[in-house]
Chains A and B, each alone.
Chain A
Amino acid sequence: MSTLFANDRPGQQPAGRRILALWFPYLPVERILRTRLGRGWRTGEVPERAPLVVSRHEDNRRVIACLDERAEALGLKRGLGIADARAMHPQIEIVEAEPEADRRLLAALADWCDRYTPLVAICGEDGLFLDITGCAHLFGGEEAMLKDVVARLAGQGFRALAALASTPGMAWAGARFLDGARIPAGGEREALSALPLAALRLDAETCARLESVGLRTVGMVMAAPRAPLARRFGAQLLLRLDQALGNVEEAISPRLPVPTLGVERHLIEPVSATDDIERLVLSLAETLKGDLERRGEGVRALELALFRVDGFVFRLKLGLSRPLRDPPAIQRLFREKLAVSQIEADFGFEMIRLSALATAPFEDEQTALTGRNENVEEDLAQFADRVRARLGQGALVQPRLVASHLPERAVSFMPFRAGNAAVRLREAPVPLIERPIRLLARPEPVEVAAAEIPEGPPASFRWRRVLYRVARAEGPERIAPEWWRDRKDAPTRDYFRVEDEEGRRYWLFRQGLYGTTPDLPRWYLHGLFA
């Protein structure tokens, strides 16, 4: 959501201000279809595919959040329950919404719009504002620019609806209700008057209340006396109206976050060698360290921006396990990152900027006299950051207990996060039954010559060609398959703890019960006790 703030003094409009609003009504489906079919999916040949619907949760039901044109053609609408939709049209494909991915995509689109103007703001979940004041002539005038934006986006696989006006509010309304329009300054009143109330960016509740008294177009609202309106529907209504008309100025906030801290270096001679970049990172990090120390903070997220001579910008971002300010560590992390990022230096970079995107209080620690950091957890965190900077976020995992009776399912792996390893183990309820120290990754078949029927232990078994005589045995512990996920005929296991003549202890199981299958049950070794 963009931050919109208003200034109550009318007439403060910068002269000649022009705003281009873009609306991406299909963004979530486009994100999915572009991944599958490539960015040319809208223009190229269309393969056969099911109508696509993106669902999200709303008040405990799944509803349609977005849908492609094929699904629309079936008569489906946003807000309709997924269950209803599927009952009506079983052929539709349904994908769960990923608002975070959509937001990232919209941000990328905003970045991409840098080519037209540096002043790009994100508007809601599916819109952009471009402040193109004084830019249009570079693209052959407003008309040509509008066409260019829409056509280029279409080439990228996006359907964008666009409008140009002198106020963000008017442009917003134009993109949604008057696609392709260019509204001249002063033409807002006329353009708005026929539009429905939704064009004023009002919440649904206010719209409904207005409609119930018959005010269903912006024109009707404009014609009504202001005081009674404000009394009944609140100040927001008039504010929105005034913003759209330009009576009240509305600023759009630039998209790129203003970094908390940033240091940059302009280079007289462009650099392109990785070594040089790394050196620059170290030197920038040292400057940054001073700033951080003054604030008692460390960084949690860093961005390295490399400005190429031709205007292209590479941005490398790092998230950190714990607040950091140590320059060599920062350099190391970017070294890993640079090694795996595809940076095309071409003509070289003319500016380099290191920004702290997020900071957090940094607790100074007494360094050991040896000068080396002996905090193990700290090391572990740094190690993890380095490995992940190089190998990706999923490279490190940690085990987690799962409440399952089946031994091989009683543990699973989750992404590593420093500091939570110990907690997890304690959380899981553990059954009181003894389990072997070592569980084989896969049960290994053993030969059993004779066992007590129906459910006794074997007298001896042969594992990896060695024969073991069973001296003592305890069991059976009967573990049936997890019927709701295993195959219907999955056999039950009878586990035995057995001890051989030399006191070594094994965990064996017989798969299947006697008499339940035509074949004799088979035996396996699944674990070793100490």
Chain B
Amino acid sequence: MSTAGPPAYAEFAVQSNFSFLRAASRPEELVITARLYKYKAMGLADRNTVAGVVRAWSKAKVEGLDFHPGCRLVFSNSGPDVLAYPRDRAGWGRLCRMLTVANERGEKGAPDLRQDDFFEWADGMSLAVLPDLSQPEDALLAFLRSARQRFGDAVWLGHAPLYHGDDRWRLEQAAALSRASQLPLMAVNDVLYHDAERRSLLDVVTAIRLNRPIAEVGYELSVNAERHMKPVAEMARLFRRHPQAIAETIRFAQTLKFSLGELTHFYPDETTKDPQAELERLTWEGARKRYPGGLPEKVRQSIVTELELIAQLGYAPYFLTVHDIVRYAREERGILCQGRGSAANSTVCFCLHITEVDPAIHQLLFERFMSVERHEPPDIDVDFEHERRDEVMAYIYEKYSGSHTALAAAVTSYRGRSALREVAKAFGLSQDAQAALSGSIWGWSNDVGEDEARAGGLDTADKVTAHIVRHANELLEFPRHLTQHVGGFIITQDRLDEFVPIIRTAMEERRMVEWDKDDLDAVGLLKVDILALGMLSCLRRCFDLLEQHYGHHWPRRLELTDLHRDQQKAVYDMLCRADSIGVFQVESRAQMSMLPRLKPKEFYDLVIEVAIVRPGPIQGDMVHPYLRRREGKEPEEYPREELRRILGRTKGVPLFQEQVMQIAIEIGGFSASEADQLRRSMATFRRTGRVAMYKERMVRAMVKKGYPEEFALRCFKQIEGFGEYGFPESHAASFALLVYASAWFKAFYPDVFCAAILNSQPMGFYGPGQLVRDAREHGIEVRTVDVNLSQWDATLEESPFDPARIAPKHREMKDVIRSSHAVRLGLRQVKGLAEADMLRLIEQRGSGYTSVRDLWLRTNLSPSVIERLAEADAFRSMGLDRRAALWAARALDRKQAAEGLPLFDRPEVRLPDREPKTKLPVMPLSEHVIRDYRAQSFSLKAHPLAFLRAELAREDIVPNGELDKVRNGRRITVAGVVLIRQRPGSAKGVIFMTIEDETGTANIIVWPKVFETFRPIVLGARLVRVTGKLQSASGVIHVVADRIEDISWRLEKLSEAGQQVDFRSPVDETKRPVVEDRRSRHPSVAMPKGRNFH
């Protein structure tokens, strides 16, 4: 026996979970395993896609493994699978073109690759044919010979053992084919998972793919667990009769000279010959506009520096592209837009009107945006009005054409909820059990444990439950499919489909590439993020309404920049009182409890406010030190003077990404690019696990410089938190501008703000009910939806402002509010109405409809639509309440329409009403309220709890509006409709619930333990009664729940039915089943479910 170790081996038939539901390991796991087994090289060849290769390549770089990107070509029109590995850059380009052709021909997610494509495009690649030996020999041989003829010695014959009992015969058969076709025989193992343990997960994903329970998948399940990566010695043993096949793997690897690192990006030249000169011209021109009073020296200096750097890196065309997109949106379409993110660190971007953060006022860190060392492209993200982003996207397609631009992909992967649901389905659980299970998972949370299973109604001792939980956990973060990124455009000078395959999206006119944002970053492809932001739509509407109704206050149409300049104390005072419902970013529960503590007094405080209520600072324990120092309870301390410069503006506490990076650079001894890599590695540290290395280095460097280790660790913890959730200061500043702008409108023109935000729904944190309530509490009259008075959108109607209507808690706004209009709700507020129908109604309205029948005949709307309007109580202007309108609407029918047709031409002729009068009982107010809720989720007439107040008072339930009179620490009971449940990622499973009664809202804190006890109630109840301890700090009041009851049933009493006599037999009061009431009719169902935020 020879003492030499096993021969060298490389594996090329490898599929990862990017072969969507056909393999069961991540690319990274495969790379690590290949490294562990000391493979000489490894390729990744997923089914007709290269979606996973960048991840594998990045991992292989770290592991030091020779990695080759490839693709397994699977033909739709028969023929054996072929492994295709590009030998050079040109080969890669052709592979991408081939896949693009197949993608274009097929459906989304199902490329249609034909043999012809292969013969047309496969030059410049090393190819391994994987024949299915159960197929007729003649056909196989014919294919092999034609491949040989076409591509010569670039073709191999790949063979893998199957363990079906006839492997010896199969291997000899393959060897014979190899001789007959003159193609060298190459060993592969046709890997579907890195470890034998994953066989069961493969079966699970197979069941998911086939949409059948595992027990019915039958022969499609794996018969054994042999499709895992094997040690080289084992591969050598399996091919011991043909050792040459093992050696061929190395020869195959040696032909592959292409690496993803070779992809370099050329940005399209804009129309001009000298992009840099054009950029400079535009920048200086913009600078003059930005600073009409003269350019500050500091700004001038930054522009010069930035322009130099841009010239050096050749990014001028990129800036020109973004500038052109923004110019188009703003000037040609009048779309509101604003850059966000790190680009706001750039003075050039400010001058080009891409971003709005003024470098004269703010300290910008240009390195965060761009650096020479970092060979990564800058990333400019621009927000547009969310309803009009499509116009911008259409412009980009038109300008650059489909072969030069496409969207980035976003990998939709399995999260706790979806993983649990799909796996439960694969195990044959009924749909409602699946729903219950996945419903027990909170949002995006990734905990899939026994608690969740139990809450979903599963027996945790059961074997099936154990299987479900285990496999759902394994499935977490597996890609499900690719979808388009929200707005990341890649634009290239050369053909984009030679960089990366382009695929169809769910939308016919859009295309995307196969790589996501991180992949594109890793290979250095430039992208522009065209994002959608609801608040911009809302603000544009605010400006429109202001111009339309308050032109006398403002001689010219205002713009965002005008508001930025109009810094008003009243706006800050309002925010200090946490009067921020509807205001961008600072309207969440956590933000609202921070506002009175942080007490923003100037713009920079808003920047901090936006950034501080984030998981990063919270997990890094930065919030309390900052607040203490701000309140002067704790001195600002700087372990070393150099920190004062970095952290001075945040009182010595690092709050922003830029600050942390600066610490890493100036104290940790990192280079700028290393610091940025550190930041990025945080975001992906689950995948790469490089964090520990950085941590040690940074802490050691800081301690060496004389910093306390505790401080160093805290700094690092801060970075860790930032990884996924932190804000760069520039981004916070961009957002803070919108915070101020929206707060400005809310403070001075609550009528305008209310109408604009209602018309921009859905957006933000609150539903229309809360927004309307808030406006009314600020003294704004809100008028009902009416078929004769409403437009589709909410509108403003003249109405003198009466400060007496302002709720006491907002009385300080008395002299601030400048409104002189009432809000008329739009027809859009009524659920289930089509915009087209309502536009017809408005168009035909003329001087108004006189009766339900008149409306019907003139609009020709279907009676069901009219019933819906009647249900929404929208006929009051013609003297009909809901009930009368319904009675009239129900009388409409087709037969009568026919006889009524002649009247259509003469709507003024009224149909004589010969019907005997029917006396209908008056609908009680409480029933009206319930039905208002059913039709539009809120009621202007009253709050449902007002009708229950007497009863609640008997139970010592404290109205929410009186919580401020309760002593801190007392145990009390409150009740209300559940508005919002929120479980912030930073709060360790704590749930914040907001409940509402007729007097106001109460904030409930539910600790995880209490949540476990009352889970179905917390998640499902519409009306709750909560008992707990009152906590009050800095004017922020919470009730820490220890007991939560579902009292939704009490809403029954509000409906007429609930007030009826009890018909149940007197002898048997409790046990008699009442005739089944359909659930959907229960009044509690009319109540909104409450919104969940995570």
Contact surface of A with B, Cβ cutoff 8 Å:
25, 57, 60-62, 69, 72-73, 77-84, 86-88, 90, 161, 176-180, 194-196, 198, 204, 208-209, 211-217, 220, 223-225, 227-229, 231-233, 402-405, 429, 431-434, 474-480, 482-485, 492, 495-497
| Complex contact B1071–A69 (CB within 8 A) | yes
A198 to B165, CA, bound (A): 69
Closest B residue to A208 by beta carbon equals: B1081
Interface residues of B in 1052-1078 (CB under 8 A from A): 1056-1057, 1060-1061, 1063, 1065, 1067-1068, 1070-1073, 1075-1078
Q: Closest 4 CB pairs between A and B?
A: A403-B218, A477-B165, A83-B436, A61-B432
User: What sequence of 0s and 1s flags, for each residue 407-450 of chain B, a beta carbon within 8 Å of any chain A beta carbon?
Assistant: 00000000000000000000100111101100010000000000
Closest B residue to A217 by beta carbon equals: B1060
- Given A62-B430, A79-B1079, 11 more pairs with CB closer than 8 A: A79-B1076, A82-B432, A83-B456, A84-B1020, A87-B440, A161-B1065, A178-B1065, A228-B916, A432-B134, A492-B224, A495-B165
Closest A residue to B893 by beta carbon equals: A231
User: What sequence of 0s and 1s flags, for each residue 878-919 of chain B, a beta carbon within 8 Å of any chain A beta carbon?
Assistant: 000001001100110100000000000000000000011111
Contact A213 B886, CB 8 Å, known A84-B1016, A403-B218, A474-B166:
yes
| Complex contact A225–B916 (CB within 8 A) | yes
Residues of B close to A177: CB separation below 8 A: 1063, 1065, 1075
| Complex contact A72–B1071 (CB within 8 A) | yes
A69 to B457, CA, bound (A): 22
Contact pick for B1078, options A73, A204, A224, CB 8 Å? A204
Contact pick for A484, options B200, B886, B1071, B1076, CB 8 Å? B200
Contact A87 B457, CB 8 Å, known A194-B1063, A429-B219:
yes
| Complex contact A198–B1075 (CB within 8 A) | yes
Residues of B close to A57: CB separation below 8 A: 430
Contact pick for B1076, options A78, A88, A403, CB 8 Å? A78
| Complex contact B165–A213 (CB within 8 A) | no
| Complex contact B165–A405 (CB within 8 A) | no
| Complex contact B1063–A81 (CB within 8 A) | no
| Complex contact A405–B221 (CB within 8 A) | yes
How far is the CB of A175 from the nearest CB of chain B, in Å?
Answer: 11
Closest B residue to A482 by beta carbon equals: B221
A227 to B913, CA, bound (A): 13
Closest A residue to B870 by beta carbon equals: A212
Cβ of B215 within 8 Å of any chain A Cβ, yes or no, is yes
How far is the CB of B960 from the nearest CB of chain A, in Å?
Answer: 27
Closest A residue to B1078 by beta carbon equals: A204
Interface residues of B in 914-965 (CB under 8 A from A): 915-923, 931
| Complex contact A213–B1057 (CB within 8 A) | no
| Complex contact B221–A475 (CB within 8 A) | no
A212 to B934, CA, bound (A): 12
Contact pick for A72, options B226, B1020, B1056, B1073, CB 8 Å? B1073
| Complex contact A405–B223 (CB within 8 A) | yes
Work out how many contacts link A and B, with CB atoms closer than 8 A.
175
Interface residues of B in 218-249 (CB under 8 A from A): 218-219, 221-226
Contact A216 B1060, CB 8 Å, known A80-B1079, A84-B1016, A208-B1081:
yes
How far is the CB of A84 from the nearest CB of chain B, in Å?
Answer: 7
A73 to B435, CA, bound (A): 26
Closest B residue to A181 by beta carbon equals: B1065
Cβ of B638 within 8 Å of any chain A Cβ, yes or no, is no
| Complex contact B890–A209 (CB within 8 A) | yes
Residues of B close to A224: CB separation below 8 A: 918-919
How far is the CB of B1048 from the nearest CB of chain A, in Å?
Answer: 12
Residues of B close to A434: CB separation below 8 A: 165
Which secondary structure dominates where chain A touches chain B? mixed
Closest B residue to A231 by beta carbon equals: B891
| Complex contact B1068–A179 (CB within 8 A) | yes
Residues of A close to B920: CB separation below 8 A: 213-215
Contact surface of B with A, Cβ cutoff 8 Å:
134, 163-166, 168-169, 199-200, 203, 214-219, 221-226, 427, 430-433, 435-436, 440, 454-457, 464, 467, 871, 883, 886-887, 890-891, 893, 915-923, 931, 1015-1016, 1020, 1056-1057, 1060-1061, 1063, 1065, 1067-1068, 1070-1073, 1075-1079, 1081
- 6 cross-chain CB contacts under 8 A: A86-B436, A212-B883, A429-B219, A478-B224, A485-B215, A492-B224
Residues of A close to B221: CB separation below 8 A: 405, 482
How far is the CB of A161 from the nearest CB of chain B, in Å?
Answer: 8
A30 to B859, CA, bound (A): 56
Residues of A close to B432: CB separation below 8 A: 60-62, 81-83
Residues of B close to A209: CB separation below 8 A: 890
Contact A497 B165, CB 8 Å, known A80-B1079, A204-B1078, A403-B218:
yes
| Complex contact A227–B886 (CB within 8 A) | no
Contact A474 B219, CB 8 Å, known A25-B1073, A179-B1065:
no
| Complex contact B1075–A214 (CB within 8 A) | no
Closest A residue to B890 by beta carbon equals: A232
Residues of A close to B1078: CB separation below 8 A: 79, 204, 208
Contact pick for B226, options A478, A485, A497, CB 8 Å? A478
How far is the CB of B1069 from the nearest CB of chain A, in Å?
Answer: 12
Contact pick for A483, options B203, B886, B917, B922, CB 8 Å? B203
| Complex contact B1071–A194 (CB within 8 A) | no
A125 to B838, CA, bound (A): 45
A215 to B1029, CA, bound (A): 46
| Complex contact A87–B1016 (CB within 8 A) | yes
| Complex contact A228–B915 (CB within 8 A) | yes
| Complex contact A211–B1056 (CB within 8 A) | yes
Closest B residue to A78 by beta carbon equals: B1076
Residues of A close to B214: CB separation below 8 A: 484
A175 to B792, CA, bound (A): 51
Contact pick for B165, options A196, A228, A476, CB 8 Å? A476
| Complex contact A176–B1075 (CB within 8 A) | yes
How far is the CB of B433 from the nearest CB of chain A, in Å?
Answer: 6
Closest A residue to B219 by beta carbon equals: A403
Residues of A close to B430: CB separation below 8 A: 57, 61-62
| Complex contact A232–B887 (CB within 8 A) | yes
Residues of A close to B891: CB separation below 8 A: 228, 231-232
| Complex contact B1060–A213 (CB within 8 A) | no
| Complex contact A478–B223 (CB within 8 A) | yes
Residues of B close to A480: CB separation below 8 A: 199, 222-225
Interface centre among B218, B1070, B1079 (most CB of A within 10 A): B218
| Complex contact A213–B427 (CB within 8 A) | no
A130 to B991, CA, bound (A): 58
How far is the CB of B1081 from the nearest CB of chain A, in Å?
Answer: 6
Contact A479 B224, CB 8 Å, known A213-B883, A231-B893, A433-B165:
yes
Residues of A close to B216: CB separation below 8 A: 403
Residues of A close to B464: CB separation below 8 A: 484
Residues of A close to B1075: CB separation below 8 A: 176-177, 196, 198
| Complex contact B165–A474 (CB within 8 A) | yes
How far is the CB of A26 from the nearest CB of chain B, in Å?
Answer: 8
How far is the CB of B866 from the nearest CB of chain A, in Å?
Answer: 13
A220 to B920, CA, bound (A): 9
How far is the CB of A122 from the nearest CB of chain B, in Å?
Answer: 19
| Complex contact A214–B1056 (CB within 8 A) | yes
How far is the CB of B920 from the nearest CB of chain A, in Å?
Answer: 5
| Complex contact B218–A402 (CB within 8 A) | yes
A204 to B219, CA, bound (A): 47
Contact A87 B455, CB 8 Å, known A60-B432, A474-B166:
yes
A209 to B1065, CA, bound (A): 26
| Complex contact A216–B436 (CB within 8 A) | no
Residues of A close to B436: CB separation below 8 A: 81, 83-84, 86-87
| Complex contact B200–A214 (CB within 8 A) | no
Interface centre among B169, B226, B1016 (most CB of A within 10 A): B1016
Residues of B close to A477: CB separation below 8 A: 163-166
A462 to B702, CA, bound (A): 74
Residues of A close to B1065: CB separation below 8 A: 161, 177-180
How far is the CB of A471 from the nearest CB of chain B, in Å?
Answer: 16
How far is the CB of A260 from the nearest CB of chain B, in Å?
Answer: 37
